[in-house]
Structure 1
Amino acid sequence: MTDTCLHCGTELITRPTLMRLLLLKKPAKSMLCSACLNQFAPLLTTHNCPGCWRQMTEAGYCSDCQRWLQHFPKQIVNHRALYAYNDFAREWMHTFKRLGDVRYGQVFSEPLQQLIITHFPNYTLVPIPSSQSSLTKRGFNQIHVMLDALNQPYDSALEHVGSGPNQASKTRQERLSSQQPFQVIEGRQSSLPAAALLVDDVYTTGRTIYHAKEALLNAGVKNIGSLSIFR
């Protein structure tokens, strides 16, 4: 059976690397053709905002993080992201959530694992929870799908208790002014990790991450970082 690209259906041609040939290993199986893979834009630039990892032309905090610093001078997030949230990324996430094909989340396993090892060793992964309406509509939490593919334990210590439209359907101003939708699950305050790494799919304004961080801080967690697939 011929392997095809998960996204566009093009036939995949897998070429073994010299190292794999020397080790007598089979070529690593890819789910994407090079054309689709190259449309993901890695956030690897000379300057990235130290708060949210936005691509910058010079060193320092971006305008968004400067505003967050005014409101939360001691709570600026230590965020990292894999890829820019470009048109292809938007299409990818829309297809992933609409079709519910778990392979769309598994594609990020290797770079996500490397990011965690490099920047957040010894952190416990804490996924951003979905609202009940999103879970009912979609049938799954896309963050759980991505983390399940890592074969690494994570702690679903937060729950979504908010109401109203989800973040994706809100304007930028509506997102920034949204009320706290998260809380630590009852009974978990005494068993939270010392270092928590919040995991989301997309970082836009930062409002979701700051809400989640606030919920953990109020429960006594002192060391909190965050990461997302897209920024």
Structure 2
Amino acid sequence: MKCEYCQQQVAPDWNLVAFLMNSPQQLKSLCDHCLSRFQMISSATCFGCGRLNDGLCYDCMRWQRQGQPLLQNNALYEYNMMMKWYFQNYKVKGGYHLRQVFSEIFTAHIKSRLADKASCLVPIPVSKATLKQRGFNQVQGLLKNNLVFKDWLMCKRENKVTQSSLDRSQRMQGVSPFQLNASQEAVVNQHIVLIDDIYTTGRTLYWAADVFYSYGATSVTSITLAR
């Protein structure tokens, strides 16, 4: 099998236990060299959004001035050129098999970040039109089956404008596409942890947070694969 990025041959990753149990071999979509081009965030980051920054960044100061409780977003990887390629092929072109590149490490990261085990994990949803066209929710695709989450958020409209198609000004001036998909009693006093693929401007995540705060959630934080 060839690496989908560099087209070099990918060496099989043999697992003795899986071999002895006659389990199907999981083929790697990317070679080790290309995998190494994804940069994990390991140095100081902004407390509000997870961007590489020494202290609170300008964007988060602006959210604070608007009266928004900061999301304390925690991101696992930098949004570099390799990550841009990944999302173009996974999310835009619908390469569902590419979820396996990050599903295990991202799920483990989410579990490690849950200080409160009673926290409710809520993935950001996609519209019905996007689900029909793409065939999957890219956020849920990044989560392993052993991670319990709540479908407490839904899109108000059949079609939801994709944030990647808008510039910053257009994103910030948009209208929230989300509404609650649960009873208010279920949300009151809960600690909500939003899960998304990318934190760009934070607009999508803050829209989602607003929904939960309006129904009585105690806190809303977020975890994303990339920032």
Both proteins in one fold, TM over 0.5: yes
The reply on whether 1:69 has 2:67 as its aligned counterpart is no
Tell which deviates more after alignment, 114-123 or 152-161.
Answer: 114-123
Match for residue 94 of structure 2? Answer: 100
For 1:130-149, list aligned pairs within 5 A.
Answer: 130-147=126-143, 149=144
Distance between the aligned counterparts of 2:18 and 2:13, measured in 1?
A: 10
Task: Mark the CA change 1:225 to 1:37 in structure 2 (over 3 Å): closer, same or farther.
Answer: same
Counterpart residue number, 2:156: 161
Deviation of 1:10 (Å): 3.0
**After alignment, is 79-88 or 131-140 more displaced?**
131-140
The Cα shift of 1:224 comes to 1.7
CA contact (8 A) 2:96 2:136 kept: no
Q: Aligned runs of 1:18-57 on 2, under 5 Å?
A: 31=28, 32-45=30-43, 47-56=44-53
Listed one character per residue, the Cα deviations across residues 189-228 of structure 1 (whole Å, up to 9, x for unaligned) are 2223822211111110000010000101111111221011
Offset, 1:13: 3.2
Aligned length: 217
> 1:174 aligned to 2:170?
yes
* Letter of the structure 1 residue corresponding to residue 76 of structure 2: L
Q: Secondary structure at the match of 1:229?
A: strand
> For 1:133-189, what per-residue CA distance to the aligned partner results, in whole angstroms no more than 9, with x for missing partners?
322321221112112x2421211110111556321111101111111211102x522
Match in the other structure for 1:222? 218
Identity of aligned residues (%): 31
Are the counterparts in 1 of residues 126 and 160 from structure 2 also a CA contact under 8 Å? no
Q: Which moved more, 1:131-140 or 1:166-175?
A: 131-140
- The equivalent of 1:118 in structure 2 is 112
- Give me the whole-angstrom Cα distance separating, in 2, the residues matched to 1:52 and 1:184: 23
CA RMSD of aligned residues (A): 2.5
TM-score, normalization: structure 1?
0.83
Q: 2:198, 2:225 within 8 Å by CA — same for their partners in 1? A: yes
Do the aligned residues in 1 keep the contact of 2:122 with 2:152 (CA within 8 Å)? yes
The aligned runs of 1:81-92 (5 Å cut-off) are 81-92=75-86
Determine the C-alpha separation between the residues in 1 that align with 2:177 and 2:60.
21
Gap change, CA 1:98 and 1:71, over 3 Å in 2: closer
